[in-house]
């Protein structure tokens, strides 16, 4: 079945360092969404990418969708303690109608 | 708007007991989903619904049942609770597959 893997699984950084998480799908995705889940909270939608090679920015966050639409990345510049949480990518299940498959997630910890 | 509301927030069950996790949304979304999230893990789809009267299985449906009698409500039923069902359960809804998922705050269930 379709698999969506994320690396790394965990990342500890010092405040001010950059952070990147990578999302890789076993199948081509029509679109990809990114979510952030704070500790003890629920996933919150960040952004959606649709076009091959698309790049979107939200302040210190940069999202990319690969040319082959099978991978994506989220880069955070100069991390802050408020960036702490788990970041998930999610994509539509191939032939699965309105189901989203979530990636395995990357847990980010930021130390002062 | 309240968005997606889940009740209860916490519950402890004994092995073999049954319960219903409630989920309601006030956004008139046709698509609703139940996910479970084990500690430190990603989200796994249990059941989903594309509209009132229509439900379908996700990745991990065993031990659960759902119903969708109205657009607003999508309850999840656990019959004969088992320790393996200890998890955080999230209900979510969306308008279309190109829209973001709106999550409830989750129900933390422990089966002992």
pLDDT at A98: 74
Query: Hey, which CATH number is domain A4-111, 3.40.50.150, 2.60.40.10, 3.20.20.140, 3.40.50.620?
Result: 2.60.40.10
Cα angle: A43, vertex B83, B105; to 5 degrees: 20
- In Å, how far is B58's CA from the nearest CA of chain A? 8
Domains of chain B from N-terminus onward: 4-111 (2.60.40.10)
Q: Where are the domains of chain A?
A: 4-111
Which of left, alpha, beta for A46 (phi over 0: left; psi -120 to 50: alpha)?
A: alpha
pLDDT at B1: 65
A97–B50 C-beta distance less than 8 A: yes
Which among A45, A92, A99 has the least Cβ separation from residue B100? A45
pLDDT at A97: 67
Tens-digit pLDDT profile for residues B30-56: 999 999 999 888 899 999 999 999 999
More confident residue, A1 or A100: A100
B42–A102 C-beta distance less than 8 A: yes
More confident residue, A77 or A94: A77
Tens-digit pLDDT profile for residues B77-94: 999 999 999 999 999 999
Tens-digit pLDDT profile for residues B18-31: 999 999 999 999 99
**Cis previous bond, B58, omega within 30:** no
B41–A107 C-beta distance less than 8 A: no
């Amino acid at each position: 079945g379709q698999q969506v893997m994320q690396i790394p699984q965990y990342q500890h950084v010092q405040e001010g360092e950059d952070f990147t998480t990578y999302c890789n799908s076993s199948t081509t995705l029509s679109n990809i969404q990114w979510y952030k889940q704070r500790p003890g909270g629920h996933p919150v939608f960040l952004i959606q990418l649709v076009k091959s090679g698309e790049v979107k920015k939200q302040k210190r966050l940069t999202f990319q969708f690969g040319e082959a639409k099978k991978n994506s990345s989220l880069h955070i510049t100069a991390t802050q303690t408020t960036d702490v949480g788990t970041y998930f990518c999610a994509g539509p299940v191939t032939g699965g109608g309105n189901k989203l498959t979530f990636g395995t997630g990357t847990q980010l910890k930021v130390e002062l | 708007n309240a968005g997606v509301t889940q009740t209860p927030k916490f519950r402890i069950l004994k092995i073999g007991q049954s319960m219903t996790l409630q989920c309601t949304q006030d956004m008139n979304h046709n698509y609703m989903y139940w996910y479970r999230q084990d500690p430190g893990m990603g989200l796994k789809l249990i059941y989903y619904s594309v509209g009132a009267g229509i439900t379908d299985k996700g990745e991990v449906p065993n031990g659960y049942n759902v119903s969708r009698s109205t657009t607003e409500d999508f309850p999840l039923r656990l019959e004969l609770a088992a320790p393996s069902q200890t998890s955080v359960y999230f209900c979510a809804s969306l308008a279309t597959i190109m829209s973001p998922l709106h999550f409830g705050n989750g129900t933390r269930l422990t089966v002992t």
